[in-house]
Structure 1
Amino acid sequence: MLVAAAVCPCPPLLVPEVAAGAAPELDAARDACLDAVGVLAAARPDLLVVVGPGDEPSEPGEHPTVGPYPPGAQGSFRGVGVDLDVTLGHAPDGDTTAGRPLPQSLTVGAWLLERAHWTGAPVEGLAFLQTAAPEDCAEAGRAVAGRTDRVALLVMGDGSACRTLKAPGYLDDRAAAFDARATEALGSADLDAIAALDATLAHELKAAGRAPWQLLAGAARDAGLAGRLLYEDAPYGVGYTVAAWS
């Protein structure tokens, strides 16, 4: 059963070494994310699953980034120009786990856990296809929540990327309203409102968090969790929301 959840954005800029001189601009977001991870630790879960968006391969020969990632899986920020590697929890034998590198969303999640000095439950990863149907997200959430008696989720995902002219997806007049609905639902743990987020609109607005959020809603059914909004803003034209459920 799900006992706690933290919702955090997943831009590499959350990492100070990546943001460099602009790092102070996201200090409030970082602090909120660490507070949310603290809620997970306080719940004393038996298992922590980091959930975030992944992608199917775009070219032949590429590896998909969707699917499960075991404890000890590794990620890197070298792709954004920073010599920094992270590990998702700890492999059972204490050694690093060979295999696919973590996608960006789970890499940022692993970095957050390292920054928070996570020493609690074993940590696994799950990257979910950004275009997954809402009902598939909900079903996956129920499966995750049923893994053990006390499951916690660290849910990584951004809102729309179309809030300003300089945003990655340029300005879309629908973006602010979409983010407002999502933020209100995430901050209040409104499962029906999260489940009702329009997948097509989310895709058009480049809101990569939609599928992980709907997975969370599926996992939280019958859990009776209350939500608390810790942060909401749209720096760089991208919607960022931090919330804690317990």
Structure 2
Amino acid sequence: MLVAAAVCPHPPLIVPELAAGAAGELDALRAACDAAVADLLAARPDRVVAVGTGPETAEFPKGGAGSFSPYGVNLSVRLGAGGGDIEERLPLSLTIAAWLLGRTPVDVPVSGLAVAHDADAVDCLASGAELVSGDERVALLVMGDGTACRTEKAPGYLDARAEPYDAAAALALANADVLALAALDPRLSEELGVSGRAAWQLLAGAADGADLTGRLTYDEAPYGVGYFVAVWS
């Protein structure tokens, strides 16, 4: 059963070593993510599952590992305990999740689930429901950015549809509104460069019937990309 969820974005610049001189620009986001993870663990889950989008759907039952070397920094992270050598296997979303979880002591098993960015909404909802179907107390760390089209300097340039999309997503996350998240349009999400759609819809499937209350703690677009932090408990 789902006992809590934290929603965070995954910009590489949230990692100070990658941001270098610009690290201070995301101090507020970093603090909000740290607080969300702390709230997640305060629910005393039996297991934490990090969920994020990737090129394809893949499970990381022993955690898995990722590297920031593609971004010019020799820094590796591991998502929970796992054996073997550090390898660059996790997609960016779960690599950032591993980095966030590494900033807080975690004494329960951690695993990861990457969801294909173009996964069908119905499949996402079903996967979420299946993920929390047992008696185990599960907490989800859900990674995903909003639109990438909020300003002319944004990765996807300025699109008038971006701001209302992000406003609707932020409201859904604030209210733990599973129906609103389930209704997000995959095609529009793709056109607006939304990386969080599939992961948010998996959360909607997991939270359906869980009677969780939402709280939005961050809602900004510092680089023309919508970043949200929310806690469901």
**1:69 is matched with which residue?**
60
Distance in 2 (CA, whole Å) between partners of 1:180 and 1:87 is: 33
Q: Does the 8 Å contact 1:71/1:90 carry over to 2?
A: yes
Residues 233 and 40 (structure 1 numbering): CA distance in 2 closer, same or farther, change over 3 Å? same
- Structure 1 residue 96 displacement after superposition: 3.6
Q: Does 2:204 align with 1:217?
A: yes
Distance in 1 (CA, whole Å) between partners of 2:217 and 2:227 is: 11
1:116-157 residue CA offsets vs partner (Å, 9 max, x unmatched): 23x222000000011111111100000111244200000000
Normalised to the residue count of structure 2, the TM-score between the two structures is: 0.97
1:147-173 residue CA offsets vs partner (Å, 9 max, x unmatched): 442000000000000111111111111
Distance in 1 (CA, whole Å) between partners of 2:208 and 2:177 is: 10
Structure 2 SS opposite 1:237:
coil
Q: 1:116 aligns with which of 104, 107, 123?
A: 104
Matches within 5 A, 1:79-118: 79-91=70-82, 95-96=83-84, 101-117=89-105
**2:6 is matched with which residue?**
6
| Percent identity over paired residues | 58
Q: Does 2:146 align with 1:159?
A: yes
- Structure 1 residue 33 displacement after superposition: 0.5
**1:180 is matched with which residue?**
167
Amino acid at match of 1:84: L
Q: Does 2:129 align with 1:142?
A: yes
Q: Does the 8 Å contact 1:46/1:148 carry over to 2?
A: no
**1:199 is matched with which residue?**
186
**1:129 is matched with which residue?**
116
Q: CA RMSD in A?
A: 1.3
Distance in 1 (CA, whole Å) between partners of 2:192 and 2:113 is: 23
**1:22 is matched with which residue?**
22
Moved over 2 A (4+): 95-100
Structure 1 SS opposite 2:223:
helix
Amino acid at match of 1:103: P
Amino acid at match of 1:110: A
Structure 2 SS opposite 1:236:
coil
**2:46 is matched with which residue?**
46
1:72-127 residue CA offsets vs partner (Å, 9 max, x unmatched): 41100000001110001112xxx34677611100000000000123x222000000
Amino acid at match of 2:91: P
Q: Does the 8 Å contact 1:2/1:145 carry over to 2?
A: yes
Distance in 2 (CA, whole Å) between partners of 1:85 and 1:97 is: 11
Q: Does the 8 Å contact 2:66/2:87 carry over to 1?
A: no
Q: Does the 8 Å contact 2:76/2:86 carry over to 1?
A: no
Distance in 2 (CA, whole Å) between partners of 1:138 and 1:187 is: 19
Distance in 2 (CA, whole Å) between partners of 1:82 and 1:105 is: 17
Normalised to the residue count of structure 1, the TM-score between the two structures is: 0.92
Distance in 1 (CA, whole Å) between partners of 2:230 and 2:84 is: 31
Distance in 2 (CA, whole Å) between partners of 1:98 and 1:233 is: 33
Amino acid at match of 2:74: D
